[in-house]
Amino acid sequence: MLLKLIGTFEDQCSELLSAVRRGDEAAVSHLDSEIQPLIQRIFRFYACDNKQAIQQLRFFARLAVRNSEDDDSVSRYTDMMAVLFERYLSAGLVFSQPEIAQIKDWMSVSPKASADPAFAEGYDPSPHELVLDSLPERIAVVGLDYRYIYTNKRNGEFHGKPPSAFVGRHLAEFIDKQRFLSRAKPRLDQCFGGARVSYIYEIADLRGRMFEVNCTMTPFLGPDKSIIGALLTLRMNPLFARVA
């Protein structure tokens, strides 16, 4: 049963990645709503033997490592490992010394003190963000007011800022006003009207390297299926100087 739950989690993460790549927001929303409860089902699963306990602990160790740049997520998953370890020790499950050493090594991933335990029972966006951050494309969600709702690490790195620096800020703060008015805004308005828009432009990164950017804007739907913004997917293709 445990391996089936873990397999389902990995399958849904793969499906989520595919849905993001093709801009299928309905599928993204559906899969994300299923992934969160699945993590809690794996956490609540009661291992019947040493082997299952190790598999369960290893699952949360992988989540902690995958989210190693997010201290709160790492603390959350290591807290969950600690709860599981204590659960099985209290139940009389016996671990070998190498297994205990390995488990303690897994739980030492966190660089910070434990996060609020309440987070373990609440919404955890990290699997969704993990998928988005693993994409080679720059990803962002912009609201109807042209302000960022979300951006992935790849987009943040392009601008030399952390993703948290984008939330709530106007798109024109990250591209010059003329480019916003002449290029981005007209196309965003089309997207807000229900159209899927694609276009290509050239831009230099912070190091002066030139790229051809294929930008796709897909309507971003809210829970009631109304359009609340646009999902931007920016594929970067380096432009190499021609040699005469």
Q: What is the pLDDT of residues 175-218, one digit of tens each?
A: 888 889 999 999 999 999 999 999 999 988 888 889 999 999 99
Determine the pLDDT at residue 240.
65
Tell me the CA distances in angstroms from 71 to 64, 78, 153, 192, one per residue in order.
9, 10, 15, 35
pLDDT at 151 over 70: yes
Task: State the average pLDDT over residues 38-44.
Answer: 88
pTM above 0.85, yes or no: no
* Domains of the chain: residue spans and CATH: 2-128 (no CATH), 136-238 (3.30.450.20)
- The beta strands (E) that lie in 26-183 are given as 138-143, 148-151
What gap in Å lies between CA 46 and CA 56, rounded to an integer? 9
Q: Which residue do the tokens 């190790």 mark?
A: 54
pLDDT grade for 244, boundaries at 50, 70 and 90: very low
233 DSSP β-pair partners: 139, 216
Phi, psi of 197 (to 5 degrees): -115, 135
Helix (H, G, I), strand (E, B) or coil at 223: coil
pLDDT at 111 over 70: no
